[in-house]
Amino acid sequence: MRLLFLGDMVGKTGRTAVWNRLPGLISDLKLDFVVVNGENAAGGFGITEDIFLETINAGADVVTTGNHVWDQKEAVAFAGRHDQFLRPANYPQGTPGRGSGLFYARNGARVLVANVMGRVFMHPELDDPFKSAETILDACPLKEQADAIIFDFHAEATSEKQCFGHFVDGRASFVVGTHTHVPTADHQILNGGTAYISDAGMCGDYDSSLGMDKEEPLNRFISKMPKGRMEAATGPATICGVGVEISDATGLAEKIAPLRLGPRLAETIPEFWR
């Protein structure tokens, strides 16, 4: 199975780049399943229902989120209406929406996708992500109820991300870190067969500070005083993500490589898909 995960869409330039390029990528690369993190898609803060639906219409099978999931007030209302919209699973019981779901890939495979948020340097501090993952895996084990299992681990600390990867190694197909908006170079297959990367990067303008116009963040570092609102950068976007090839027999990863398309960062498409 061919899986593509695209990192946090940031603002209009990021989401538009994804919408424009994703249909062609699905066709050209013969993708079976696509997950996109959308928590920064609405001006850099949260996601609206229209943006969610447009992302699904472009070809995403699931849209994950993170700590900005509720920044747009309408998300509280629409979270429960769409199974393909995921908020972190370790929110307290009774939170609107869902944190995981079982979906069908284009090749008919059953794909469990779970969105979990870390706790180190993160706000709000949610329930234990490791216990949440254990509950999810117990309910839907790999190669029993699911042919592939994907975790979007939305977290700040790479140590927490790495430990989470080792925690589910051999029990999940792929653990992808999100939140820090900078693509890391540690894509690998762990000892137990789980594909892992600390951060997929963002889909947005890299002439920026994490996708935001760089002037206000720079001002705050220098003066320690805000001058105005943070605004999403509006320059040409680079799409960043990760491609994974998953064994139909075991549900574990066989190959992993970054995908980057656009200006500033070196363009790359996983060699095994060329």
Buried b (16+ CB within 10 A) or exposed e, 13-27: bbbbbbbebbeebbe
Residue 131 CA: distances (Å) to CA of 94, 117, 135? 17, 12, 6
Which ranges of 90-146 would DSSP assign to H, the alpha helix? 129-139
Show the tokens assigned to 13. Answer: 């330039």
Residue 169 annotated in ligand binding: no
Secondary structure class of 132 (helix, strand, coil):
helix
20 is in an annotated binding site: no
Residue 253: phi, psi to the nearest 5? -80, 145
Q: Which residues are catalytic, by number?
A: 68
Residue 82 annotated as lining a ligand binding site: no
AA letter at 233:
A
And the tokens for 15? 């989401």
Residue 74 marked as a ligand binder: no
Contact 221, 54 (CB under 8 A): no
- Residue 67 annotated as lining a ligand binding site: yes
Determine what percent of the chain falls in helix, strand and coil, rounding each to the nearest 5. 25, 30, 45
> Which residue numbers belong to the known binding site for Fe cation?
8, 39-40, 67, 154, 179, 181
> Which residue numbers belong to the known binding site?
8, 39-40, 67, 154, 179, 181
